[in-house]
Structure 1
């Protein structure tokens, strides 16, 4: 295999993981905004996963409106994972 394509697989994997993580966080935001049933197993799983993935940003912002608090405290981590994951993937692609 040519060294030109050596890091394509790992870079793609990093980008896909970043997309999945951001997708889970975005899905929780949508479920919250649409007032999903918290007793539903799927909604509970998405919420638990989103909580774990955004632990570092819990209560980063504390507005009184629940929708805004959810948007900020889960949306900022989603954007951070996307940006950092794709920057890392780009860096991996540039390695020879």
Structure 2
């Protein structure tokens, strides 16, 4: 699937994969929101709940007038931070000998 450059450290690979899954959930919610997915659907509800939990700290950092922009910025910021921090930690672990 994905190749992770974290050296031979399996813990680093796990951290990178977790960061990717978190960002994927957040990105999926942004896409579902923008496509106006049926919020009564269980899968949509699950993705929304998981994304809201993951992005709870970033959802209202900025007050934007458009709802779609609020979703993209709030959830997107969390996704970028998780990717950056998760991969930084994983790469740091991979360089330790």
Give the SS at the match of 1:15. Answer: helix
Paired position in structure 2 for 1:85: 86
Q: Any stretches of 5+ residues in structure 2 without a counterpart?
A: 1-6
Higher helix content, 1 or 2:
1
TM-score (norm 2): 0.90
Q: Any stretches of 5+ residues in structure 1 without a counterpart?
A: none
Give the SS at the match of 1:55. Answer: coil
Give the SS at the match of 1:63. Answer: coil
Residues 1-96 of structure 1: matches in 2 within 5 Å?
5=8, 8-96=9-97
- Shift of residue 62, structure 1, vs aligned partner: 1.8
Separation in 2, partners of 1:59, 1:81: 17
Aligned-CA RMSD value: 1.0
After superposing on structure 2, the runs of 4+ consecutive aligned residues of structure 1 that deviate more than 4 Å are none
State the number of aligned residues: 91
TM-score (norm 1): 0.91
- Shift of residue 16, structure 1, vs aligned partner: 0.1
Separation in 1, partners of 2:77, 2:66: 17
> Which string of whole-angstrom CA distances, capped at 9 and with x for unpartnered residues, describes residues 56-94 of structure 1?
112111212111000000000000000000000000001
- Shift of residue 43, structure 1, vs aligned partner: 0.4
